[in-house]
Amino acid sequence: MNQLFKVFVTRRIPDPGTQILTPSCDVTFWESDDAIPREDLLKNVKGVDAILCMLTDKIDREVLERAGAYAVKNGEWGKWKPMWLCGVEMKKRTFGIMGLGRIGYGVAKRIKPFGVERIIYHDVQKLSFASDFGGEYVEFEDLVKESDILCICCNMNPQTRHLFNKKTFQKMKTTAIIINTGRGGIINHDDLYEALTSDQIAAAGLDVTEPEPLPMNHPLLTLNNCVILPHMGSNTWESRNRMAEIAAENIISVLNKGRPKGEVLRRIEA
């Protein structure tokens, strides 16, 4: 008989969700409608295969590593230590965004409730809709110098290719975390590796790399302070379904002499 997967649910949920989980999983529930205290969350996720959490639950590095991540696989999980696997909170931090398009705007709106002190951004110009989340326009130099967490959301072009390089990292805080959701080529990976191994910056999270997929022998994959995901920022059924719908709708529109949604117009210089 196959061993059942262990799942922890951080709140009481409607029966339809329970009915799906219980036949094939060993499910443990936090039997309350109130948010689970941090200490109980850390205690209950030990050894589980999955966590069904709520929007109000703080699922961070510490929680994930308490649930069977690398610390467990590598035999590093022992008695509790107050200084082990500590991260940083979002409160009173300066969150920087490079490129305030639709993605950058969406990131800013979602990050605001986490209690950041400031949201700063840099783009080709100051943008009025940044007032929706209290965003402050800053020059690029100030963006890299002042950000505690810096999220790259811009596209790649000749001006942004390897924009984040050795000189840029040297201007950042040694405690800074950089996240790339744009394109892999915006960061010089060799310079990033040097910055991470020399404590020039604290950590990096990459959803995009150069090349993709990143070779298995790439030195960035050896680092504990660099998390790399396989370009999965749009990996939801809702997103993929809508992408398929838009593509189909555009075909019908163009075939009927209409204009496609999301049309990109390029200005041709004389």
Residues recognised as catalytic:
231
Instruction: Enumerate the β-bridge partners of residue 152.
Output: 98, 180
d(CA 85, CA 51): 19
DSSP E strand boundaries for the chain: 5-9, 25-29, 50-52, 94-98, 118-122, 136-137, 149-152, 177-180, 203-206, 226-228
Q: Which of 18, 19, 24, 5 lies closest to 67 in space, CA to CA?
A: 5
Extract the tokens encoding 247: 């593509």
Residue 96: name the closest of 75, 78, 117 by CA: 117
Per DSSP, the chain holds a count of helices (H) and strands (E) of: 9, 10
